[in-house]
């Protein structure tokens, strides 16, 4: 399954929430993203069918290995791109918003070059 930007955003959100709490529910995802319950339910269903998440009996959402791999990739890009933009003079708020858009379209080659150039760790 080829993920679109929205699917990547959901996976990234689930990753972030799972770092904050042990039990992530659809309502948590919706609140974090500002989306309606039906929108979140539909997206989670697509991600489950694609093998990116599992949903337990109690409604807990967990990333599969494939889902975690995608989520970590997107989250790492978000963090690096935000920091890079801030370092070149962009405000934190604008940098975070722009990084959120850029993280989905930047090539692996370009991201690797930025990462190598910045050497954040």
Q: Can you give the CATH number for the domain in which 79 is found? A: 1.10.60.10
Residue with tokens 């890079």, as numbered in its chain: 84
Residue with tokens 């489950």: 48
Kindly state whether residues 81 and 38 are assigned to the same domain. no
pTM (predicted TM-score): 0.87
Question: How far from 66 is each of 29, 50, 74, 96, CA to CA, in Å?
Answer: 19, 10, 13, 25
Tens of pLDDT along 67-86?
A: 999 999 999 999 999 999 99
* Domain match, 18 and 44 both: yes
Average pLDDT over residues 90-98: 95
**Distance (Å) of CA 23 to CA 10, 14, 94, 115:** 16, 10, 31, 32
Assigned token pair, 10: 């959901």
Number of Cβ atoms within 10 Å of the Cβ of 67: 24
Beta strand segments in 1-121, E: 53-55, 61-63
- pLDDT value, residue 117: 84
- Report pLDDT digits (tens) over 26-58: 999 999 999 999 999 999 999 999 999 999 988
Domain span including residue 54: 5-64
């Amino acid at each position: 399954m080829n993920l679109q930007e929205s699917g990547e955003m959901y996976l990234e959100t689930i990753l972030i929430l799972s770092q904050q709490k042990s039990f992530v529910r659809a309502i948590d995802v919706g609140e974090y993203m500002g989306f309606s319950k039906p929108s979140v339910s539909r997206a989670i269903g697509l991600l489950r069918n694609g093998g990116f998440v599992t949903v337990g009996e109690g409604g807990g959402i967990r990333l599969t290995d494939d889902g975690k791999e995608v989520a970590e990739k997107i989250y790492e890009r978000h963090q690096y791109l935000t920091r890079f933009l801030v370092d070149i003079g962009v405000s934190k708020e604008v940098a975070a918003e722009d990084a959120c858009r850029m993280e989905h379209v930047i090539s692996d080659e370009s991201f690797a070059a930025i990462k190598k150039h910045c050497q954040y760790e």
